[in-house]
Amino acid sequence: MSLEYDFDIVEMEPGEAEGGQIAANATGPVPVRALFRDVKTADALRGASPKIRKIFLDAGFGLDTPGSVTPRGFYLPEDAEARERILRNLFSNIKSMGVQGEYSGEFDFRQFLNHVRTARPLVGVSRREPQGDPRPTPQTATKPERRTVPGRIGFALGLAVILFVLLKFLAAAGASP
C-alpha cells in the first residue's frame, strides 16, 4: 500500500513560526509550512528516524494535516513559489545532512521525489474565500419520494408472480392451501 505524498502550503500562525520568534505585526512574506494532505503520510514521517524528521521540519514541512480539497497530484498555482523554496531547502538539507543508512519506515523517498516531479499546478483555481453563504443552512427533513404508478404496478405484478410460483410449488409437493 503506497502513501499519498501530496502536500499543501499553509500560512503559519504568527507565534508558531520559528519557535515563536516572529511577531504578529512582522513585515515581509507570511511564513508558510508544507503539510501532507494524508494523515498516513504524516504518520510515516513521524515514524522515520529523528534525523529524517529534522531534515523535513527544518526545510519547512510540518507533521499536521490540513484537510485539503485539492485533487491528488495537483497544487494551487499561488503556492508554487513557496513550494519551490521549501523543496529547495529540503534538497539542500538532504545533501548536507545525508539520509544514507537512516530509518525511513514507510516513508518512501523515491515515491516522494516522483510525486514532486509529477505534481502540477491546478489551473483556474486559487485560494479565495468560499463562494456563497458562509452560514450553515439548516437541514430539513426530506420525505422519501412516493413510488410512481408504473412502479407500483410493477411491484404488484412481481409480488403476484412470486405468490403464483409459490402456490404451484406447494401444489406440486402435495400440500394444499
pLDDT (tens digit, 9 = 90+) per residue, 117-152?
998 888 765 554 444 444 455 566 666 666 678 888
C-beta of residue 68 within 8 angstroms of C-beta of residue 49: no
* 144 within domain boundaries: no
* String of DSSP letters for 42-94: HHHHHTS-HHHHHHHHHHTEESS-----SPTTEE-GGGHHHHHHHHHHHHHHH
Return the pLDDT at 15.
62
Task: Please check whether residues 47 and 103 belong to one and the same domain.
Answer: yes
Domain tally, the chain:
2
Q: Which three cell numbers stand for residue 172?
A: 406440486
pLDDT tens for residues 96-118?
988 888 888 888 888 988 998 99
* 126 within domain boundaries: no
CA distance 15 to 21: 7
Closest CA to 10 of 36, 33, 37: 33
Identify the band that residue 89 occupies on the pLDDT scale cut at 50, 70 and 90: very high
> Which of the pair, 10 or 174, is modelled with greater confidence?
10
* 140 within domain boundaries: no
Return the pLDDT at 20.
38
> What is the pairing mode between strands 7-11 and 32-36?
antiparallel
Asked if the model's pLDDT at residue 22 lies above 70, the reply is no
Task: Please check whether residues 58 and 116 belong to one and the same domain.
Answer: yes
Percent share of the chain, pLDDT over 70: 75
CA distance 163 to 151: 18
Angstrom CA distances, 70 to 73, 85, 114, 122, stand at 9, 20, 19, 8
CA distance 13 to 161: 68
* 1 within domain boundaries: no
Task: Please check whether residues 23 and 102 belong to one and the same domain.
Answer: yes
Task: Please check whether residues 93 and 167 belong to one and the same domain.
Answer: no
- Please, what is the average pLDDT of the chain? 79
Task: Please check whether residues 88 and 155 belong to one and the same domain.
Answer: no
Task: Please check whether residues 35 and 91 belong to one and the same domain.
Answer: yes
Task: Please check whether residues 33 and 117 belong to one and the same domain.
Answer: yes
* 135 within domain boundaries: no
Task: Please check whether residues 27 and 93 belong to one and the same domain.
Answer: yes
End-of-domain residue from the set 79, 104, 121: 121
Percent share of the chain, pLDDT over 90: 23
Sign of the dihedral through C-alpha 111, 116, 117, 118: positive
Which residues span the domain enclosing 175?
Answer: 149-177
Task: Please check whether residues 96 and 17 belong to one and the same domain.
Answer: yes
End-of-domain residue from the set 101, 121, 141: 121
Task: Please check whether residues 81 and 165 belong to one and the same domain.
Answer: no
Task: Please check whether residues 67 and 15 belong to one and the same domain.
Answer: yes
Task: Please check whether residues 117 and 168 belong to one and the same domain.
Answer: no
Asked if the model's pLDDT at residue 175 lies above 70, the reply is no
Tell me the three-class secondary structure of 6-32, residue by residue: CEEEEECCCCCHHHHCCCCCCCCCCCE
Q: pTM here?
A: 0.61
CA distance 9 to 38: 14
